[in-house]
A and B are shown apart, each in its own frame.
Chain A
Amino acid sequence: MDWDISRLEDLEHYIWRCTACGTCRVAYDFGPPATCRPICPAGTEFGFEGNMSSKGKIAFARGILDGSLEFDEALLNDIYRCTICGGCQSQCQLDHKPFIPEIMEAMRRKAVEAGAGPLPLHKNLTRSLKSYNNPYQGPRRLRTDWTRPFKKAGRPIKDIMKQPAPVLFYVGCTGAFNQQARAIPTATASLFHKLGLDFGILGENELCCGSTAMRLGDAEEFKRLATQNLELFKKLHQEQGVATIVTSCAGCYRAIKKDYILSSAYDEMMDGVRVIHTAQFLYELHQEGKLPLEGGLEMKITYHDPCHIGRHLNKFEVDADGSQLWKGAYLGVSEAECLYEQPRELLKAIPGVEFVEMERNRANSFCCGGGGGVMTGFGEWAAKNAGLRIQEGLETGAAAMASTCPFCHYNLSQGAQRIASDMKVYDLVELLDQVVPAK
């Protein structure tokens, strides 16, 4: 299986399309009325131009490529002080726009290849991936700990390696190993049971999707995990009848949807298999009238868009052969695959819920601060940034903030604690589980 993962040198042309104009620095909308807030977590916290949005990171990339900059400790720190959230990408108007997160990750890949990256704390993650197939140093038997209550209640979850099912619930490492985030797979499975869905999980046989490795620049480890997963998905389709892979992890979804397509064998391996995020899956059921909602939640709620199922799913149109404008010209962007409206529609459908919007939302959502390895590498800053997002939620008068990503869920919870806020943080499935009646 071949992989088309760019080296920094491959992206040099695009790196030189950045004018350093700084449009990427603020989430700005003309309106009227005009709205404007910072968009870059690193820029907000550290402030130097190099830390600031894509303008700064591209300066680093230029310096690395022209030989001015070497991977010393200070540069490495700043390369990894980026959540790869893509907020700056949403603002940019130039030809390198489609490649901005790619450029940042290519810098990390170059650092890893040079033996300099990732940061020491990140190396714990990549070592764990190699040893345990997950970034949490969790023995595989712990992957199913969250399923015990189901077994105890006489509603065991199918092991899809042993029993066929059309739907694979791909849990993800954070949902399986992070104590706080376990509420998410638990609620997802509970919902699926209530809806009478025939689904199974991989349990101890689940491997990390590889997102962590990719975000940190360890392309080799990503390829190992992704290759195994693609082969497993094909096998499950052929042997166990899996036609849908549903995940409630935004990171896994992004990886399978957007990183796995870098494989030459993607179409073959995923033939007959649809990957879908829980938010979309449940939204479709809701649209079909198959998601009954009873009772109510008297709650004022706002929604935090996770980067990985939001703007990371932008589809950019590039003039690859120069037939429309010039070779490599950025032509436009489609948000059709970004899951912006689905979670909002579901939240609004919950009886009693009053939905309110934060100023920075959808493509201009302010990252929670947990992505791109920041939560591991710079935990204190990640929580501080999440506190800023919670504060923005409080400004709306909301008492609760919903999201659709276990990483965001955990980090926003940390942020709420850090600023001693009463804001309750939920995953969408946790809320839906409370109002979907048991059959």
Chain B
Amino acid sequence: MDTATAKKMDPFLAELAGIVGPSNASDAKHIRYAYSYDLSFVQPKLPDYVVMAETVEQVQEVLRLANREKIPVVPYTAGTNIGGLTIPERGGILLDLKKMNKIIDIDVADGVAVIEPGVSHAQLAAALGPLGLRFGWPVGPPSASVSSCCISHGIGGMNARYGLQSQEITSMEVVLPTGELVRAGSCAIQKDAWHSVLPLPQLDGLFKGWLGTTGVVTKLGINVHPAPPILKIFTVSCNTTQDMYAYMFNLSNYEICDDITAVSWWLSQVPIPYPYIPKPADAAEWNSYATTFSWSEKERDARVEIWEKVVAEEQKKGSSLAVTHYPEEALRGRTQLPSQVVGSTKNYCKMGGAGISWPGTFTPAKKWAPVYTRWKEILIGHKLSPSVRMSMYRGVHYGMLRAMIPFNKQNPAETENARRAIVECLRVDLDEGGIPYKPPVDFAKEINLRADPGYLMLLKRVKQMLDPNDIMNPGKLGF
């Protein structure tokens, strides 16, 4: 600790330092400043303290202290979300968990990995690879946290096969806002059993999708899967959303793909054009890539045969579907995951300059076309690219619909322009039955406006039960 800091250390900081050690606690402004913003349009706000916990016991102590003093706590792993989820709404303690980065176990037989919150996708990928295992890597930065992605209902490269990242969760250990250590799933019954949240009551649901407002997940069990050696990527284009949806729906019925995704022309560019430019007249509106893995060439050929059948069926219907070439760098970035090329960086933000946010939603697939039409009008009206992605989830009935919107964060007017457009898009989607994931506060408020009173009552009651002093990431649920 610096001498100046030591001399004027406030008593609360001294207590924090007593828990995590002096080198892991700070109230220095420049240290706090680095946690005050992220990629999103959310206005920067400073925490009052930053602490880095290295053990579960330290997390418990910090939360007990914060609860006693009624000081907010914002859990933080890598800060790579694009919804301002770790920007403190009401100051308090920024609890940085990156030093809790152990891969505690990889059970090859059970297909389960047990990880701490600071474990990154790149770290887990490096550990799983030699064991012939894989996970559904998202297109976030390689340094992003696996745990945060899972508990925030993030998406990954195997959503069409295994569902959302949160559906891969098998067990968890959590520190409650009041400091107690609890477990959900099989590890709650037998401490070394991390294989399943079922058939117990799904108490893990108390901590998934809550944006860090109900506790701090300190260990997470997740399914990991065998990695077949042969990758085949099916690439097609369509001129209309309906045609693309029909193809994706048809292909997904065969359950041969790990990921079935379509991206609008603007999102298939590296980088996303900023400001908006019209797409070339001869370019298709949509490009799709669908990944399929096989154990043998014969299996791959059978999968290709199915895909060719789907393509033929769609074309017979008069679809604009064409087998096509997907831009090489973009394809690499989207299939060689985790990727530095996509990673919320090069292809997303590079042209805009520092800023990226989204309306990111789970939307009924049949609503993709009307929502996209409206989004396109709104975004182009704000001179922003309609850089939209649609991905099928396992089960087909709904999927991920989102627009990645870069903007120039150095310019407040351009940032506000993006925010307005994104919130407007979000309203359209909500009104069509879509639900945003990892929502910034602006979105949370829009959700609550439309929510059933009973839902809100239950939400608040559960929150009150778990966090009686409202210290955990307060404000993020929009109330």
Instruction: Spell out A's residues near B (CB within 8 Å).
Output: 12-13, 16-23, 25-26, 28, 30-36, 46-50, 52, 55-56, 59-60, 62-63, 68-69, 72-75, 77-78, 91-95, 325-326, 329-330
| Whole-angstrom CA separation of A91 from B345 in the bound complex | 11
- For B122, give the chain A residue with the smallest CB separation: A36
Q: Does B219 contact A (CB under 8 A)?
A: no
Smallest CB separation, A240 vs chain B (Å): 49
Give the residue of B30, B122, B125, B349 whose beta carbon is less than 8 angstroms from that of A21.
B349
Q: Is there an interface contact between A19 and B339, defined as CB atoms closer than 8 Å?
A: no
- Known contacts: A32-B129, A94-B346. The answer to whether A16 contacts B353 by CB under 8 A is yes
Residues from chain A with Cβ under 8 Å of B122 in the complex: 26, 28, 34, 36
User: Can you list 25 A-B pairs, Cβ within 8 angstroms, ordered by A?
Assistant: A16-B410, A18-B354, A23-B142, A25-B143, A26-B122, A26-B142, A28-B122, A30-B338, A36-B142, A46-B23, A47-B52, A49-B31, A49-B79, A55-B34, A59-B30, A68-B29, A74-B28, A74-B30, A77-B2, A93-B340, A93-B343, A93-B345, A95-B350, A326-B351, A330-B350
Give the residue of B4, B339, B340, B356 whose beta carbon is less than 8 angstroms from that of A72.
B4
Q: Is there an interface contact between B30 and A22, defined as CB atoms closer than 8 Å?
A: no
- Known contacts: A19-B354, A26-B120, A49-B96. The answer to whether A63 contacts B4 by CB under 8 A is no
Residues from chain B with Cβ under 8 Å of A12 in the complex: 410
| Whole-angstrom CA separation of A55 from B343 in the bound complex | 14
Chain B 1-30 interface mask (CB, 8 Å, partner A; 1/0): 011110000000000000000011010111
Q: Does B409 contact A (CB under 8 A)?
A: yes
- Known contacts: A28-B338, A34-B129, A48-B26. The answer to whether A21 contacts B52 by CB under 8 A is no
Smallest CB separation, B387 vs chain A (Å): 15
Q: Is there an interface contact between A33 and B129, defined as CB atoms closer than 8 Å?
A: yes
Chain B 30-64 interface mask (CB, 8 Å, partner A; 1/0): 11011101110000000000101000000000000
Smallest CB separation, A259 vs chain B (Å): 27
Q: Is there an interface contact between B144 and A22, defined as CB atoms closer than 8 Å?
A: yes
Q: Is there an interface contact between A28 and B340, defined as CB atoms closer than 8 Å?
A: yes
Q: Is there an interface contact between B345 and A23, defined as CB atoms closer than 8 Å?
A: yes
Q: Does B355 contact A (CB under 8 A)?
A: yes
- Known contacts: A22-B78, A22-B80, A74-B30. The answer to whether A33 contacts B130 by CB under 8 A is yes
Q: Is there an interface contact between B120 and A47, defined as CB atoms closer than 8 Å?
A: no
Max count, chain B CB within 10 A of own CB: residue among A23, A56, A73: A23
- For B332, give the chain A residue with the smallest CB separation: A30
Q: Is there an interface contact between B129 and A23, defined as CB atoms closer than 8 Å?
A: no
- Known contacts: A28-B122, A34-B126, A93-B345. The answer to whether A23 contacts B356 by CB under 8 A is no
- Known contacts: A20-B39, A36-B142, A60-B30. The answer to whether A47 contacts B96 by CB under 8 A is yes
Q: Is there an interface contact between A75 and B4, defined as CB atoms closer than 8 Å?
A: no
- Known contacts: A35-B126, A47-B96, A95-B350. The answer to whether A22 contacts B4 by CB under 8 A is no
Residues from chain B with Cβ under 8 Å of A330 in the complex: 350
Q: Is there an interface contact between B96 and A48, defined as CB atoms closer than 8 Å?
A: yes
Q: Does B98 contact A (CB under 8 A)?
A: yes
- For A39, give the chain B residue with the smallest CB separation: B143
| Whole-angstrom CA separation of A32 from B283 in the bound complex | 33
Q: Does B336 contact A (CB under 8 A)?
A: yes
Measured as residues with beta carbon below 8 angstroms from the partner, the interface class of chain B is: 35 or more
Q: Is there an interface contact between A26 and B345, defined as CB atoms closer than 8 Å?
A: no
- Known contacts: A50-B31, A69-B33. The answer to whether A94 contacts B349 by CB under 8 A is yes
Q: Is there an interface contact between B354 and A16, defined as CB atoms closer than 8 Å?
A: yes
* Residues B101-159 near A (CB distance < 8 A): 120, 122-123, 125-126, 129-130, 141-144
Residues from chain A with Cβ under 8 Å of B39 in the complex: 19-21
Instruction: Spell out B's residues near A (CB within 8 Å).
Output: 2-5, 23-24, 26, 28-31, 33-35, 37-39, 50, 52, 78-80, 96, 98-99, 120, 122-123, 125-126, 129-130, 141-144, 336-341, 343-346, 349-351, 353-356, 408-410
| Whole-angstrom CA separation of A349 from B279 in the bound complex | 55
- Known contacts: A21-B345, A69-B33. The answer to whether A74 contacts B4 by CB under 8 A is yes
Max count, chain B CB within 10 A of own CB: residue among A28, A52, A75, A329: A28
Residues from chain B with Cβ under 8 Å of A20 in the complex: 37-39, 79, 354
Q: Is there an interface contact between B143 and A23, defined as CB atoms closer than 8 Å?
A: yes
| Whole-angstrom CA separation of A347 from B314 in the bound complex | 60
Q: Is there an interface contact between A75 and B30, defined as CB atoms closer than 8 Å?
A: yes
Give the residue of B4, B34, B99 whose beta carbon is less than 8 angstroms from that of A56.
B34
Residues from chain A with Cβ under 8 Å of B354 in the complex: 16-20
- For B25, give the chain A residue with the smallest CB separation: A48
Residues from chain B with Cβ under 8 Å of A47 in the complex: 24, 52, 96, 98-99
Residues from chain B with Cβ under 8 Å of A31 in the complex: 129
Q: Is there an interface contact between A93 and B79, defined as CB atoms closer than 8 Å?
A: no
Residues from chain A with Cβ under 8 Å of B336 in the complex: 30
| Whole-angstrom CA separation of A34 from B338 in the bound complex | 9
Q: Is there an interface contact between A48 and B4, defined as CB atoms closer than 8 Å?
A: no
| Whole-angstrom CA separation of A36 from B141 in the bound complex | 13
Give the residue of B2, B29, B33 whose beta carbon is less than 8 angstroms from that of A73.
B2
Q: Is there an interface contact between B355 and A19, defined as CB atoms closer than 8 Å?
A: yes
| Whole-angstrom CA separation of A296 from B141 in the bound complex | 46
Residues from chain B with Cβ under 8 Å of A73 in the complex: 2-5
| Whole-angstrom CA separation of A212 from B346 in the bound complex | 34
- Known contacts: A22-B80, A22-B141, A77-B2. The answer to whether A50 contacts B34 by CB under 8 A is yes
| Whole-angstrom CA separation of A74 from B22 in the bound complex | 14
Residues from chain A with Cβ under 8 Å of B31 in the complex: 48-50, 74, 78
| Whole-angstrom CA separation of A12 from B408 in the bound complex | 13
| Whole-angstrom CA separation of A20 from B355 in the bound complex | 9
Q: Is there an interface contact between A50 and B144, defined as CB atoms closer than 8 Å?
A: no
Residues from chain B with Cβ under 8 Å of A55 in the complex: 34
| Whole-angstrom CA separation of A16 from B352 in the bound complex | 10
Q: Is there an interface contact between B30 and A16, defined as CB atoms closer than 8 Å?
A: no
Residues from chain A with Cβ under 8 Å of B337 in the complex: 30
Residues from chain B with Cβ under 8 Å of A72 in the complex: 4
Residues from chain B with Cβ under 8 Å of A13 in the complex: 410
| Whole-angstrom CA separation of A59 from B32 in the bound complex | 10
| Whole-angstrom CA separation of A326 from B353 in the bound complex | 12
- Known contacts: A19-B355, A20-B37, A74-B2. The answer to whether A34 contacts B125 by CB under 8 A is yes
Residues from chain B with Cβ under 8 Å of A50 in the complex: 30-31, 33-34
Q: Is there an interface contact between A94 and B38, defined as CB atoms closer than 8 Å?
A: no
Q: Is there an interface contact between A36 and B120, defined as CB atoms closer than 8 Å?
A: yes
Smallest CB separation, A12 vs chain B (Å): 8
- For A33, give the chain B residue with the smallest CB separation: B129
